[in-house]
A = this chain, B = another copy of it.
């Protein structure tokens, strides 16, 4: 494997000059540069990152950890792992900045975190991102304290830079859209109470009503349950029936997420209620495998996973570059667009005020 000494010899310059060509950190004569580049090409030179790191302390590596940092209740095990998109978003941003991503997944074993961090430190990562599976509050393990860390899809109350989805805004946009489409009586089957997203989405729901000057009918809000994975949807039929029984009848139902919406589709069908002609349904997450495949296709707010990842990466890069935390607030939120699909009907009874 060729080294910069070989390149230097071939180009008739000193190793240091080769280094300068590689790093562009000092002016090099045009002709010299060309000679060096030619030599590198013909020798098939590959720079050794190890040697570079050793001297300069810039490893060009960043670490990403997924899995449970705070103990996640077993019960909340998600069926899919959409956080790949977060990783993807982060990876792309890092790649553009010439950084390479080291990843490790600690699964459910929080006790493996220190060991993984240790490994990352041995590789001299310049910073770390921690990615949670769903929007939640965590406690940063002590090993990470004081290092450049950005949280993605989670946050803590120690002021660690974090990037989370804007659940409030997302639900607000969704409900506002329903109202614009003529809906006035909108049911809400909320997520389980221990989920951070539940409260935020509920806030968005209320805010959209308030903005439109509509009083929220509390009877239309079903409070969600503590999750017990075995009986995850046991209470859903009753909750749905309670909402359907309200008078005036609701014309739309917001579901806590797409998975719940998929269940609601089945329940409505059993009850002989057609979507969207008799009732409109919306989900949340915009999990394409569900929203695009359901009949009718499901309206949903997109969880901006790629955006979370790339924004977290950007913040980390700035942190690493030496600046203080670049974000205005420690916790930033990123919102996703609403994908309007067939499951929502525009009500005729309504004057076509703002029809998108």
Contacts and interface: CB of A to CB of B under 8 A. Distances in A.
Nearest to A46: B121
Most chain B Cβ neighbours within 10 Å, of A82, A84, A269, A288: A84
A118 interface: yes
A293 B259 contact: yes
Interface string A72-93: 0000000111111101100110
Nearest to A50: B53
Copies in the complex: 2
Nearest to A293: B262
Interface stretch (A101-109, A161-169, A239-247): A101-109
Interface string A264-294: 0010010000000000000000011110111
A50 B46 contact: no
A51 interface: yes
Interface string A16-56: 00000000000000000000000000000011111101100
A81 B305 CA distance: 13
B100 A119 contact: yes
A121 to B, nearest CB: 5
13 contacts: A46-B118, A49-B124, A79-B293, A80-B288, A81-B88, A83-B84, A87-B103, A88-B105, A92-B107, A95-B104, A100-B102, A100-B104, A290-B293
Interface of A: 46-51, 53-54, 59-61, 79-85, 87-88, 91-92, 95, 100-105, 107, 116, 118-124, 259, 262-263, 266, 269, 287-290, 292-295
